[in-house]
Amino acid sequence: MGDKPIWEQIGSSFIQHYYQLFDADRTQLGAIYIDASCLTWEGQQFQGKAAIVEKLTSLPFQKIQHSITAQDHQPTPDSCILSMVVGQLKADDDQVLGFHQTFLLKNLQGAWVCTNEVFRLSLHNV
């Protein structure tokens, strides 16, 4: 990992941490958001740490497992990191579904937090 740019190292570490928390105990995700954070989940908008955690913990499944296919990270001009994830998830006994998720990460007082997040399942109308 040492030969990758620092923004890729930070982005990859954040993504790994996020999905470990999400899959194990979504109630712990509050630590990565701030009160100004925004989430768009399948077109629904949520703002603030409490609203985001409420949405994520109220999702209608008991267990979930994410598998990351690809992730890309970019530095932004204002010293943030933009991360995009493509992968698959399996919730309870449902079929495996593809998803895309984008995060904007910002360093606040030495900790990386998610200020913006967008999630979509890869569903197609047929």
Structure tokens, 118: 């967008």
Strands 81-91 and 97-108: antiparallel
Nearest 5°: the CA angle 95, 60, 48 is 120
Q: How far, in Å, CA of 78 to CA of 34, rounded?
A: 18
For the chain, 126 residues long, the average pLDDT of each consecutive 10-residue run is 86 97 95 97 97 96 96 97 98 95 96 97 76
Q: Which domain holds residue 53?
A: 4-119
Q: Considering the domain boundaries, does residue 126 fall inside one?
A: no
Strands 111-121 and 33-41: parallel
Q: Which of 34, 46, 41 is nearest to 106 (CA)?
A: 34
Q: Considering the domain boundaries, does residue 124 fall inside one?
A: no
Q: How high is the pLDDT of residue 3? A: 86
CATH (domain of 35) = 3.10.450.50
Q: Per the structure, how many domains does the chain have?
A: 1
Q: Considering the domain boundaries, does residue 68 fall inside one?
A: yes
Whose structure tokens read 């998720």?
101
pTM: 0.93
